[in-house]
């Protein structure tokens, strides 16, 4: 059975950073886990959000035609995700012709069902959020000695807009939306579900779904009106449909798990399902909402110059290192903090020392032909955590088992036992425990650090067909011999 996971699509106004990689890696780990544990045919979609005012302004600032900027930055995202071992089935660019076709088809469908009305918008617009705001969402602040209006949610400066456009009547969807959120939608962690429900209690103003060409010339044209382009959020949300073959036969729908950051919960928990319900399509089953990364305790921002680029992070930590750090240190329900020192300490301690040393110690003793014991409770504990998308908790459990095994090996001193032929049985059982711990850890680590786990299992001589979740749930039936390849899994960081 298919398991369809999506990441948000990323704005191409700037190069990918740590936070973007986190969204993608979290989704990728969720997909890999569904395949590993439940045998699901897991498919991930990702891509780039290339239209709208924000991207248009970035292109103007760079002195480039928007299409050139989009091509350049979209490729950077694609390369970063590939370098981070994010396995996607479809990479949707909103400038792809099949996507424009999907958007226009979706628009016509809404129109034919009476959900597109002529209207106008007078109020605030936040370009960084590409969002229309009600007066209650705007406050005043003094910045650089000047009074400015800002979005109270995002803190971004807003601009005044008065324009003719098309409108989607949100208020008409309110009852259906509430019913769906209460009865059919799973939001993780639960606190974001409660937040979503509170929004549905409040008024739902109608949503402007287009922008006049005179304001914005970079978007998908509204069918039948060359003076308007489709609002960038409607355009972007349809990417999930494009990824599943819309408007043709839907290969996978609805998404089983949509990974989003907390800043875009309203778009995915309110507007997106309202649009889908209006179009007669099923809304997603689950929203996995994650919090944000700060750097040394401060919000990442271009103006502060503290943005950790995806390139730098991948070069410094490797794909496995970065994935491990993000999923070990990141918890979905609250913001995570990145510091270079913390990343190096964590990766050195857990991947290089605790995990790496255990393998190294077995390798030094050279042979292990009996695998006697299993780390029996580990797959269940880790599975329970991964089911909640709390990868950090699963990793904690794996590390605890590895630490105990390391202590055990330290205590038994197999390097001493080796020199005493009469204690051969003891030597074998000691190595067997250590190797079994590594085997189970290797299998359970696959969704998080696929390449490192693969090398570990190679070294242990675990055959590719014996790397399923169920193989971790049973003790290894046969004696193991260390395979070839390096015993160094993670090169220590300085």
Of positions 3, 4, 20, 283, contacts ligand MSP by CB under 6 A:
20
Of positions 22, 88, 115, 253, contacts ligand MSP by CB under 6 A:
22
CA 336 remoteness from chain centre: 14
Q: How far is the CB of 89 from ligand MSP (least distance, A)?
A: 17
Q: How far is the CB of 16 from ligand MSP (least distance, A)?
A: 8
Of 322 and 472, which CB lies nearer to ligand MSP in the complex structure? 322
Q: How far is the CB of 74 from ligand MSP (least distance, A)?
A: 12
Of 49 and 85, which CB lies nearer to ligand MSP in the complex structure? 49
Count of positions on this chain that bind ligand MSP (CB under 6 A)? 19
Q: How far is the CB of 43 from ligand MSP (least distance, A)?
A: 17
Q: How far is the CB of 1 from ligand MSP (least distance, A)?
A: 25
Q: CA angle, corner 59, sides to 57 and 62, nearest 5?
A: 110
* Distance separating alpha carbons of residues 116 and 490, to the nearest angstrom: 55
Of 12 and 443, which CB lies nearer to ligand MSP in the complex structure? 12
Rule CB under 6 A: is residue 10 a binding residue for ligand MSP? Answer: yes
Q: How far is CA 270 from CA 123, 205, 308, 437, 441, in A?
A: 20, 11, 31, 45, 40
Q: How far is the CB of 47 from ligand MSP (least distance, A)?
A: 9
Give residue number: closest CB to ligand MSP: 261
Contact 213, 229 (CB under 8 A): yes
Rule CB under 6 A: is residue 49 a binding residue for ligand MSP? Answer: yes
Of positions 3, 4, 5, 8, contacts ligand MSP by CB under 6 A:
8
Q: How far is the CB of 237 from ligand MSP (least distance, A)?
A: 5
Rule CB under 6 A: is residue 189 a binding residue for ligand MSP? Answer: no
- The 10 Å CB-count burial string (b at 16+, else e) for 215-236 is bbebbbbbbeeeebbbbbbbbb
Residues 283-312: x where in contact with ligand MSP by CB under 6 A, - otherwise, as a string: ---------xx------x------------
Of positions 3, 4, 5, 11, contacts ligand MSP by CB under 6 A:
11
Of 22 and 192, which CB lies nearer to ligand MSP in the complex structure? 22
Rule CB under 6 A: is residue 395 a binding residue for ligand MSP? Answer: no
Place of tokens 């382009």: 229
Rule CB under 6 A: is residue 490 a binding residue for ligand MSP? Answer: no
Rule CB under 6 A: is residue 255 a binding residue for ligand MSP? Answer: no
Rule CB under 6 A: is residue 124 a binding residue for ligand MSP? Answer: no
Rule CB under 6 A: is residue 168 a binding residue for ligand MSP? Answer: no
Q: How far is the CB of 314 from ligand MSP (least distance, A)?
A: 16
Q: How many Cβ atoms from other residues are within 10 Å of residue 185's Cβ?
A: 18
Rule CB under 6 A: is residue 242 a binding residue for ligand MSP? Answer: no
Rule CB under 6 A: is residue 265 a binding residue for ligand MSP? Answer: no
Rule CB under 6 A: is residue 274 a binding residue for ligand MSP? Answer: no
User: What HEC string does the chain produce?
Assistant: CEEEEECCCEECCCCCEHHHHHHHHHHHHHHHHHHHHHCCEEEEEEEEECCCHHHHHHHHHHCCCHHHHHHHHHHHHHHHHHHCCCCCCEEEECCCHHHHHHHHHHHHHHHHCCCCEEEEEEEEEECCCCEEECHHHEEEEEECCEEEEEECCCCCECEEEEEEEEEECHHHHHHHHHHHHHHCCEEECHHHHHHHHHHHHCCCCCEECEEECCCCCCCCEECCEEEEEECHHHHHHCHHHHCCCCCCCCCCCCCCEEEEEHHHHHHHHHHHHHHHHHHCCCCCCEEEEECCEEECCEECCCCCCCCCEHHHHHHHHHHHHHHHHHHHHCECCECEEECHHHHHHHHHHHHHHHHHHHHHHHHHHCCCCCCCCCCCCHHHHHHHHHHCCCHHHHHHHHHHHHHHHHHHHHHHCHHHHCCCHHHHHHHHHHHHHHHHHHHHHHHHHCCCCHHHHHHHHHHCCCCHHHCCHHHHHCCCCCCCCCCCCCCCCCCCCC
Site for ligand MSP, residues 446 to 465, rule: CB under 6 A:
none
Rule CB under 6 A: is residue 338 a binding residue for ligand MSP? Answer: no
Q: How far is the CB of 153 from ligand MSP (least distance, A)?
A: 13
Of 10 and 115, which CB lies nearer to ligand MSP in the complex structure? 10
Of 10 and 180, which CB lies nearer to ligand MSP in the complex structure? 10
CB neighbours of 380 closer than 8 A, spacing ≥ 6? 473
CA 132 remoteness from chain centre: 26
Of positions 261, 379, 414, 447, contacts ligand MSP by CB under 6 A:
261
Of 264 and 276, which CB lies nearer to ligand MSP in the complex structure? 264
Rule CB under 6 A: is residue 9 a binding residue for ligand MSP? Answer: yes
Residues 219-238: x where in contact with ligand MSP by CB under 6 A, - otherwise, as a string: -----------------xx-
Rule CB under 6 A: is residue 260 a binding residue for ligand MSP? Answer: yes
Rule CB under 6 A: is residue 23 a binding residue for ligand MSP? Answer: yes
Residues making contact with ligand MSP (CB under 6 A): 8-11, 19-20, 22-23, 49, 236-237, 239, 260-261, 263-264, 292-293, 300
């Amino acid at each position: 059975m298919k398991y369809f996971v999506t990441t948000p699509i990323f704005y191409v106004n700037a190069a990918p950073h740590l936070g973007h990689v986190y969204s993608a890696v979290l989704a990728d780990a969720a997909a890999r886990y569904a395949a590993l544990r439940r045998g699901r045919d897991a498919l991930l979609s990702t891509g780039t959000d290339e239209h709208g005012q924000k991207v248009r302004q970035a292109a103007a600032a760079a002195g480039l035609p928007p299409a050139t900027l989009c091509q350049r930055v979209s490729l950077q995202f694609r390369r970063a995700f590939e370098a981070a071992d994010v396995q996607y089935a479809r990479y949707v660019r909103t400038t792809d012709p099949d996507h424009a076709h999907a958007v226009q088809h979706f628009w016509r469908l809404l129109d034919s069902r009476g959900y597109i009305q002529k209207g106008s918008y007078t109020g605030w617009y936040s370009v960084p959020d590409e969002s229309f705001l009600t007066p209650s969402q705007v406050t005043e602040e003094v910045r650089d000695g000047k009074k400015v209006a800002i979005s109270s949610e995002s803190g971004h400066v807003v601009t005044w807009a008065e324009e003719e456009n098309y409108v989607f009547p949100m208020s008409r969807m309110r009852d259906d939306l509430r019913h769906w959120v209460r009865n059919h939608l799973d939001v993780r962690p639960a606190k974001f579900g409660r937040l979503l429900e509170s929004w549905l209690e409040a008024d739902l103003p109608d949503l402007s779904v287009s922008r006049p060409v005179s304001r914005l010339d970079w978007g998908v044209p509204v069918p039948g009106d060359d003076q308007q382009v489709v609002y960038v959020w409607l355009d972007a949300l349809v990417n999930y449909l494009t990824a599943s073959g819309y408007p043709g036969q839907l290969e996978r729908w609805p998404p089983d798990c949509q990974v989003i950051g907390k800043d875009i919960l309203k778009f995915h928990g309110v507007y997106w399902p309202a649009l889908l319900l209006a179009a007669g399509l099923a809304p997603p089953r689950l929203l996995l909402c994650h919090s944000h990364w700060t750097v040394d305790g401060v919000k990442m921002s271009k103006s502060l110059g503290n943005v950790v680029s995806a390139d730098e992070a991948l070069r410094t930590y490797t794909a496995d290192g970065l994935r491990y750090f993000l999923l070990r240190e990141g918890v979905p329900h609250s913001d995570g903090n990145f510091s270079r020192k913390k990343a190096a300490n964590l990766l050195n301690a857990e991947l290089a020392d605790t995990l790496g040393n255990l393998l190294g110690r077995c390798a030094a003793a050279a042979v292990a032909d009996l695998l006697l014991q299993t780390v029996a409770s580990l797959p269940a504990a880790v599975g329970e955590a991964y089911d909640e998308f709390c990868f950090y908790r699963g990793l904690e459990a794996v590390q605890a088992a590895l630490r105990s095994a390391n202590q055990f090996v330290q205590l038994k001193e197999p390097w001493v036992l080796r020199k005493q032929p009469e204690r051969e049985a003891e030597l074998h059982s000691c190595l067997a425990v250590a190797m079994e711990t590594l085997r189970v850890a290797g299998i359970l680590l696959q969704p998080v650090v696929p390449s490192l786990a693969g090398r570990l299992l190679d070294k242990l001589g675990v055959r590719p067909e014996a790397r399923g979740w169920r193989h971790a749930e049973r003790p290894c039936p046969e004696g193991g011999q260390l395979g070839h390849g390096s015993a160094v899994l993670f090169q220590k960081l300085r």
